[in-house]
Amino acid sequence: MSAVESAQQTTSPRARGLSVPFVVGPLRGNWWQLASGGKIARLLLGTYEPEQSGLFGAHIHPGDHVLDIGAAAGYYTLLSAKLVGTTGRVVSFEPDPDNLQFLRSHVEQNGLSQVTILPVALADETGTARFGGGSGTGTGRLCENGIVQVAVRRLDDIAAEMDLRPQHLKIDVEGAEIAVLRGGRRLIKEFKPTIFLSTHEKIVPGIHRQCCELLIEWGYQLQPITGTSVEEASELLCCAT
């Protein structure tokens, strides 16, 4: 039985702690813990979010610096690390304690010395906030009734401390995206990174329009990654003009 076939049949929590190799797709050669439920087969078959993964491959190059904001278990962290190579840098932001275990394990198991993990949520203020887990590893979010208290920082403050000069941002933060953008205003306006943005209109109505208006004001052109128009898309590629 192949690793993919085995993963498709695996459902128990104990088995999900095991690791299997990617045998096809953009992460071929990397290892992944069976922690993503129904998405594990798509991950291992190389069919997980093909449009987004393809754009990462087209835009991110060896030596680049990438910020993975809302890294979850680390799929895009691993993909970014593979694309930038050992001469590049990836900084991953993830506040959820459960996700952090998987993220750290994936980075360590794959020997990714170019990755730095920061266990914080990004927003437009500094302090603490409640964080609630969702139904999967990528659906937790900041919310008043969250069961975990997490640290919250502004991207601009961290960038100044760590001298971050990224060429690319990936933002997938389940409704906090406008706060992340506002908290990174100085970095974004100075370095004009390409932004891979997920908006979550069902969680925060109106947030998609707010993000689009702000990025256009900052001189970005927007194109849909999924969907037929910028207005209808929940995934955007945002490039500085």
pLDDT attached to residue 145: 63
The mean-pLDDT minimum among 58-67, 143-152, 156-165, 214-223 falls in: 143-152
Mean pLDDT confidence for 112-137: 84
Domains in the chain, CATH or no CATH each: 1-48 (no CATH), 49-240 (3.40.50.150)
Q: Decide: residue 5, CB within 10 A, 0-12 exposed, 13-18 middle, 19+ buried.
A: exposed
Mean residue pLDDT of the chain comes to 88
Task: Name the band, by pLDDT with cuts 50, 70 and 90, for residue 14.
Answer: very low
The percent of residues in the chain predicted with pLDDT above 90, rounded, is: 70
Confidence of residue 119 (pLDDT cuts 50, 70, 90): very high
Query: Hey, which residues does 32 pair with through a beta bridge?
Result: 20
Per-residue model confidence (pLDDT) at position 141: 54
pLDDT at 203: 86
Q: Any idea how long the chain is?
A: 241
pLDDT over threshold 90, residue 98: no
pLDDT surpassing 60 at residue 47? yes
Stretch 225-233: mean pLDDT:
92
Query: 106 pLDDT exceeds 50?
Result: yes
Task: Give me the pLDDT at residue 134, please.
Answer: 56
Bigger pLDDT: 34 or 144? 34
- Please state, as a whole number, how many other Cβ atoms lie within 10 Å of the Cβ of residue 155: 28
Give the phi and the psi of residue 141 in degrees, each rounded to 5.
-160, 165
Half-sphere exposure of 168 (CA within 13 A, CB side): 28
Instruction: Give pLDDT, residue 36.
Output: 53
> Residue 207's pLDDT is what?
95
Give the whole-angstrom CA distance, residue 196 versus residue 211. 12
Residue 207: φ, ψ to 5°: -70, -30
Residue 120: predicted pLDDT: 95
Confidence of residue 17 (pLDDT cuts 50, 70, 90): low
Please tell me which residue, 175 or 215, carries the higher pLDDT value. Answer: 215
| Cα–Cα distance for residue pair 110/103, rounded to 1 Å | 11
125-164 confidence digits (pLDDT tens): 999 887 776 554 454 555 566 677 889 999 999 999 999 9
Q: Is the pLDDT of residue 238 over 60?
A: yes
